Amino acid sequence: MERNKTVIIVGAGLAGLSCANQVLQLSSKHNVVILEKLGKAGGNSIKASSGINGAGTRHQKEQDSPAQFFDDTVKSAKGLGKPELMKVLSERSAQAVNWLEQDFGVDLSVVAQLGGHSVARTHRGGGKLPPGFAIISALSKPLEDKIWPNCRVLELIRGSNNQVTGVKYVQGSTQHELMGQVVLASGGFSGSKEMLMRYRPDIAHLPTTNGPQTQGEGQQMCGLIDAQLREMDQVQVHPTGFVDPADPSNGTKFLAGEALRGEGGVLLDAQGKRFVDELQTRDVVSRAIMDRDGDPTLVLDQRAYSRIQHHVDFYMMKGLMRSGTLADLKAEFGWTADPEVSTSSEKYYWGVVTPVVHFTMGGVETTAHGHVVDKTGHVIPNLYAAGEVTGGVHGANRLGGSSLLECVVFGRIIAESIVNS
């Protein structure tokens, strides 16, 4: 492979797949290699269930704009993060949705309003497939011969002037070197107890929605070459991970996607009372839960169920939700009075939920073009990063639907930067 035309992407989640596809769409002269430490593509992206944000798309019924989305993002960030990255995220959000639909045939026609958003702008499909799975499946198909599974990157190789020239990786028991421009799309560190103890010991005891692959290797490798890390203590606690009745103490929880609340699900305490606006930002809802005794119950009536039926059916198949009459619901939790839900519904759907470590907002510092910068603020040549490995896009709190969006927007931007350099 011609070294200066080889693009090495570390990680086959949505950020890596978006970057790879965009490089190949823009240039026939570049070679792409995706080093994935697991046996298949997907990362955390494949589990995303609520959707991807887009401001000003053809599917939205309410008037929306990038400026309005930017305002919501800045408000959620609470003074942290980099507004220039948030501006790019919002301005290119509709393009991201259109790209997935038009170039890859992903259905994103259903729009919901999630917590912290002023309008409905989180897009998902109308079929049975969750949006993360649908998007990953579509974007990985053109890249089957580009994804190298079971390849764990160990180290960034540097040349003169701190320039990154390639990576060292291991496949099986054999170590290799691969030379080229490097894109880190390796994800966050919410699956690493060691890193959580270092940066957020106060929440390290909580269960997580993350798989064991989210160990923060990208952030660690960048730290070793004096790349700037920012806001590493900003770790998102999602308010609703399902408590599995068959295994309630399991430290890894299945996420109760925010779309469940976005489509009308309510949170009830031990007395069957609502105690928080379910569409507040995730940090606010999580804090309201943790300030009370016991885990709440997420309840949907028949109308809410009809809007998000495939999700609920899947959760019931997994044994995480149940259904029944109002009398059944009251009997399960010992409520003598009617709970604070619509009492006219023929049927209800419910599951017990608990706060979970979900997402790391902090990470590697990048420019608006995806370049990684060092501790002096200078760009590290030939090194890029996108997705959860980076910091600055979300500040103190990520809005639902912006993780998939971040991956697509900045993965594509990095591809443009590489091809045009």
Question: Strand 151-158 vs strand 147-148: parallel, antiparallel, or unpaired?
Answer: unpaired
Taking the C-alpha atoms of residue 352 and residue 241, their distance in angstroms, rounded to an integer, is: 8
Of 92, 121, 123, 261, which one is the catalytic site residue? 261
Structure tokens at 341: 């839900």
| Residue 46 vs residues 212, 289, 309: alpha-carbon distances, Å | 15, 27, 19
Of 30, 92, 238, 412, which one is the catalytic site residue? 238
Residue 122's SS3 state is strand
Residue keyed to tokens 């053109």: 142
Taking the C-alpha atoms of residue 10 and residue 24, their distance in angstroms, rounded to an integer, is: 16
Residue keyed to tokens 């702008």: 121
Q: How far is CA 195 from the centre of its chain?
A: 19
What burial letters (b/e) apply to 29-39, b meaning 16+ CB within 10 Å? Answer: ebbbbbbbbbe
The two most distant CA atoms of the chain are separated, in Å, by 73
Query: Rounded to 5 degrees, what angle do the CA atoms 304, 137, 11 make?
Result: 110
Question: Strand 181-184 vs strand 6-10: parallel, antiparallel, or unpaired?
Answer: parallel
* Angle between helical axes of 93-104 and 14-26 (0-180°, round to 10): 70
- Radius of gyration for the chain, computed over Cα atoms and rounded to the nearest angstrom: 21
Is 369 noted as a catalytic residue in this protein?
no
Is 238 noted as a catalytic residue in this protein?
yes
Bridge partners for 283 per DSSP: none
Q: φ, ψ for residue 54 (rounded to 5)?
A: -155, 130
> What residues act catalytically?
238, 261
